[in-house]
Amino acid sequence: MPELPEVETITRQLAPHLEGRTLMGVEILDPRWCVPDDAAATETTLTGRRVERLERRGKHMVWRTDAGTLLLHLRMTGTLLVGADPDVPYQRVVLVLDDDTVVRFCDPRRFGTGRFFADDREADAYLDARLGPEPLGPDFDGPALRAAIRGRRAPIKALLLDQGVVAGVGNIYADEALFHARVHPQRPGGQLTGPQCAALVEGVRLSLRAGIASGGATIDDFRHVDGVEGWFQNDFSVHRRAGLPCPECGTPVTKRVVAGRGTYSCDRCQPRPRARRAVARPR
Look up 59 and say whether it is catalytic.
yes
Q: From the candidates 75, 152, 261, 268, which is the catalytic residue?
A: 261
Nearby residues of 118 by Cβ (< 8 Å), 6 or more positions away: 45, 67, 68
Determine the Cα–Cα distance for residues 58 and 258; give it in Å rounded to an integer.
22
Q: Tell me, what's the pLDDT at 278?
A: 47
User: What is residue 72's three-state secondary structure?
Assistant: strand
DSSP letter at 115 equals E
**pTM beyond cutoff 0.75:** yes
Q: Which of 49, 59, 115, 146 is catalytic?
A: 59
Would residue 3 show up in a list of annotated catalytic residues for this protein?
yes
Q: Which residues pair with 114 in a beta bridge?
A: 72
pLDDT at 235: 80
pLDDT of residue 123: 97
Domain locations in the chain?
4-128, 142-265
Considering the candidates 3, 6, 8, 176, report the single residue annotated as catalytic: 3
Mean pLDDT of successive 10-residue segments in the chain (283 residues)? 90 96 97 96 97 97 97 93 93 97 95 96 97 97 97 97 97 96 97 97 97 83 76 86 96 96 96 68 55
What is the structure's pLDDT at 279? 47
Assign a CATH topology to domain 142-265: Helicase, Ruva Protein; domain 3 (1.10.8)
User: Is the CATH number 3.20.190.10 carried by domain 4-128?
Assistant: yes
Distance, CA of 9 to chain centre: 11
Examine the residue annotation and report whether 255 is marked as an active-site residue of this protein.
no
